[in-house]
């Protein structure tokens, strides 16, 4: 058995299966012989931890990783980046290595620093630069640099107004990633090859409103209106070139970690907590101030939030946080009250926002590390959570308070699995937790403890 996993970060069902399907003949032909459909992502649907969840079969709660930065302890502000070292569970390449099989891993989020595997690994966009040791074995670095002419970890300076430069870098990064995948596929021994292209994610964040009419700020005929179409045409050509070099009989999986959707605006999470009397400052912010730098009077604070594509709400609990104010016996009552308030939020026009707030314990079979007390999807992720204070725009922001961003994540990604003797056709009940059990099954590996996903094929 030989399997090639082609990861498209933020690959979105509505774009790949519908809107641009006719522009992508290679993907369409692959889909025609695949088991395919939308793939329910992790909660929250965030790149880190989603790829690690996909390839370990475990939830963010079991991994103890809830986003790019996680609280290291219950102090105020002691955050740690979720690097590969935070992922303690074996991922598929680890299991294969234990049975003497080789893997090539390229750009899969959650792989910096690179770890020793049987095969080779080029780590992900969380590598600080290509000056550091970002490959395993280390000598692969020179080969990668030579083949690519300088490996692109990610699009640089993404939050900028020079859209033409950003678009070009996204196209170039995708071309380079597929070219390197082709090189590694044809020069290394492998049973499992997994690579992830971040291009779709960067493209969606940078250009959704230009390209997709479902964004409220879409203007037909704008300069970049055809950028998504052109990008997906190019991606399809790269896909064709990659499939061409795969040995006969290779099983192919095209998969994404989450989808995308238009972002309507930002909800000022901590500004709202201030107004609710749940967050108290010792002095007002002089201007836009990240919550981590705000002068918080912890002795009079019930809750605070971290922003991003989803909101993380933390309660200031007696005996847990250094200056906790919520008695432990009132913890669930306060949490329930907050869920009620959050889910009753209205948008800037007074309409129900459709916010959902989750207790980690209801999402995960185990909650490890320091989880948020509530995971909040403002407007079901159509609004992002703005953690900064002092923006002076009330509760809702629509412009570039932290830079342009057109898209938020959505809970459904894509799945297409094609191989000799495997079933084909559409399925609508697939989960990101099914990926690892399915690939393990195809490789004849037993399921490690804790996995709850099902074998799809």
Partner 1 sequence: MTTDGTPAEPEPAQGPDEDDEDVYSASEEDQIAARLEALGYID
Q: How many Å apart are CA 56 and CA 397, to the nearest integer? A: 37
Extract the tokens encoding 360.
């980690």
C-beta of 358: minimal distance to partner 1 in Å? 15
User: Who's near 130: CB < 8 A, 6+ residues apart?
Assistant: 141, 145, 150, 151, 153
- Which one of residues 177, 182, 205, 210 is an interface residue with partner 1 (CB under 8 A)? 205
- Which one of residues 81, 172, 277, 423 is an interface residue with partner 1 (CB under 8 A)? 81
ω into 49 cis (within 30 of 0): yes
- Which one of residues 62, 94, 175, 236 is an interface residue with partner 1 (CB under 8 A)? 62
Range in contact with partner 1 (rule: CB under 8 A) among 154-162, 178-186, 234-242, 252-260: 154-162
Residue 444: how many CB atoms within 10 A of its CB?
8
Q: How many Å apart are CA 273 and CA 58, to the nearest integer? A: 33
- Which one of residues 26, 33, 68, 448 is an interface residue with partner 1 (CB under 8 A)? 68
- Which one of residues 18, 72, 213, 399 is an interface residue with partner 1 (CB under 8 A)? 72
Range in contact with partner 1 (rule: CB under 8 A) among 26-34, 60-68, 217-225, 439-447: 60-68
Residue 149: how many CB atoms within 10 A of its CB?
9
Q: How many Å apart are CA 110 and CA 65, to the nearest integer? A: 11
- Which one of residues 75, 99, 116, 132 is an interface residue with partner 1 (CB under 8 A)? 132
C-beta of 115: minimal distance to partner 1 in Å? 12
Q: How many Å apart are CA 176 and CA 147, to the nearest integer? A: 9
In DSSP terms, which residues pair with 352 in a beta bridge?
Answer: 346
The nearer residue to partner 1, 46 or 212, going by C-beta atoms, is 46
The nearer residue to partner 1, 27 or 317, going by C-beta atoms, is 317
Residue 10: how many CB atoms within 10 A of its CB?
26
Q: How many Å apart are CA 118 and CA 108, to the nearest integer? A: 16
The nearer residue to partner 1, 14 or 290, going by C-beta atoms, is 290
Site for partner 1 in 206-265 (CB under 8 A): none
The CA R_g of the chain, rounded to the nearest whole Å, is 22
Site string for partner 1, 95-114 (x = CB under 8 A): -----------------xx-
The packing angle between helices 199-211 and 227-245, to 10°, is: 150
Q: How many Å apart are CA 133 and CA 417, to the nearest integer? A: 33
Range in contact with partner 1 (rule: CB under 8 A) among 30-38, 152-160, 271-279, 431-439: 152-160
Are the C-beta atoms of 219 and 129 separated by less than 8 Å?
no
**Is the Cα torsion angle 343, 344, 345, 351 positive or negative in sign?**
positive
Q: How many Å apart are CA 31 and CA 131, to the nearest integer? A: 39
Q: Is 320 in the site for partner 1 (CB under 8 A)?
A: yes
C-beta of 311: minimal distance to partner 1 in Å? 10
Are the C-beta atoms of 433 and 415 separated by less than 8 Å?
no
The nearer residue to partner 1, 169 or 438, going by C-beta atoms, is 169
The nearer residue to partner 1, 251 or 270, going by C-beta atoms, is 270
- Which one of residues 22, 100, 150, 157 is an interface residue with partner 1 (CB under 8 A)? 157
Range in contact with partner 1 (rule: CB under 8 A) among 36-44, 134-142, 219-227, 316-324: 316-324
Q: Is 88 in the site for partner 1 (CB under 8 A)?
A: yes
Q: How many Å apart are CA 10 and CA 27, to the nearest integer? A: 16
- Which one of residues 14, 33, 69, 393 is an interface residue with partner 1 (CB under 8 A)? 69
The nearer residue to partner 1, 19 or 384, going by C-beta atoms, is 384
Extract the tokens encoding 39.
């793939």
The nearer residue to partner 1, 115 or 424, going by C-beta atoms, is 115
- Which one of residues 309, 314, 377, 433 is an interface residue with partner 1 (CB under 8 A)? 309
Extract the tokens encoding 161.
């107004």
User: Who's near 34: CB < 8 A, 6+ residues apart?
Assistant: 254, 416, 417, 418, 424
Site for partner 1 in 363-402 (CB under 8 A): 366-370, 384-388, 402
Widest CA span of the chain, in angstroms?
A: 66
The nearer residue to partner 1, 243 or 263, going by C-beta atoms, is 263
DSSP SS3 for 266: strand
- For partner 1, the binding residues (CB under 8 A) are 46-47, 62-65, 67-70, 72-74, 80-83, 85-86, 88-89, 112-113, 125-126, 128-129, 132, 154, 157-159, 202, 205, 266, 290, 306-309, 317, 319-320, 328-329, 331-332, 361, 366-370, 384-388, 402-403, 405
């Amino acid at each position: 058995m030989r399997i090639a996993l082609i990861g498209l970060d933020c690959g979105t069902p509505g774009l790949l299966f519908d809107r641009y399907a006719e522009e992508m003949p290679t993907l369409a032909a692959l889909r025609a012989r695949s088991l395919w459909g939308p793939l329910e992502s992790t909660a929250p649907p965030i790149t880190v931890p989603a790829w690690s969840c996909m390839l370990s079969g475990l939830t963010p709660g079991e991994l103890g990783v809830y986003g790019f930065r996680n609280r290291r302890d219950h102090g105020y502000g002691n955050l740690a980046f979720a690097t590969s070292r935070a992922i303690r569970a074996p991922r598929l390449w680890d299991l294969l290595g234990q049975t003497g099989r080789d893997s090539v891993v390229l750009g899969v989020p959650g792989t910096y620093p690179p770890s020793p595997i049987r095969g080779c690994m080029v780590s992900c966009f969380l590598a600080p630069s290509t000056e550091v040791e970002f490959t395993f074995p280390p000598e692969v670095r020179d080969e990668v640099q030579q083949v690519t002419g300088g490996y692109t970890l990610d699009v640089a300076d993404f939050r900028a107004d020079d859209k033409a430069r950003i678009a070009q870098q996204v196209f170039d990064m995708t071309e380079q990633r597929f070219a390197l995948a082709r090189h590694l596929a044809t020069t290394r021994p492998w049973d499992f090859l997994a690579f992830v292209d971040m291009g779709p994610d960067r493209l969606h964040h940078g250009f959704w409103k230009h390209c997709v009419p479902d964004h409220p700020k879409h203007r037909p005929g704008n300069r970049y209106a055809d950028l998504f179409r052109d990008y997906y045409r190019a991606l399809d050509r790269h896909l064709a070139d990659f499939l061409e070099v795969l040995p006969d009989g290779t099983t192919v999986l095209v998969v994404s970690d989450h989808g995308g959707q238009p972002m309507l605006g930002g909800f000022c999470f901590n500004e709202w907590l201030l107004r609710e009397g749940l967050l108290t400052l010792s002095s007002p912010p002089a201007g836009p101030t990240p919550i981590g730098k705000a002068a918080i009077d912890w002795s009079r604070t019930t809750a605070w939030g971290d922003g991003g594509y989803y909101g993380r709400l933390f309660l200031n609990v007696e005996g847990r946080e250094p200056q906790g104010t919520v008695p432990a016996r009132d913890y669930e009552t306060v949490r329930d009250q907050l869920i009620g308030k959050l889910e009753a939020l209205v948008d800037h026009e007074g309409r129900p926002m459709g916010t959902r707030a989750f207790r980690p314990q209801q999402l995960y079979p185990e909650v490890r590390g320091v989880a948020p007390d509530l995971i909040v999807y403002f407007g079901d992720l159509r609004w992002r959570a703005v953690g900064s204070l002092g923006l002076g725009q009330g509760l809702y922001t629509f412009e570039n308070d932290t830079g342009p961003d057109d898209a938020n994540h959505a809970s459904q990604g894509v799945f297409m699995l094609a191989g000799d003797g495997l079933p084909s056709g559409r399925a609508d009940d697939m989960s990101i937790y099914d990926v690892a059990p399915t690939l393990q099954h195809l490789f004849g590996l037993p399921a490690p403890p804790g996995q709850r996903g099902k074998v799809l094929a």
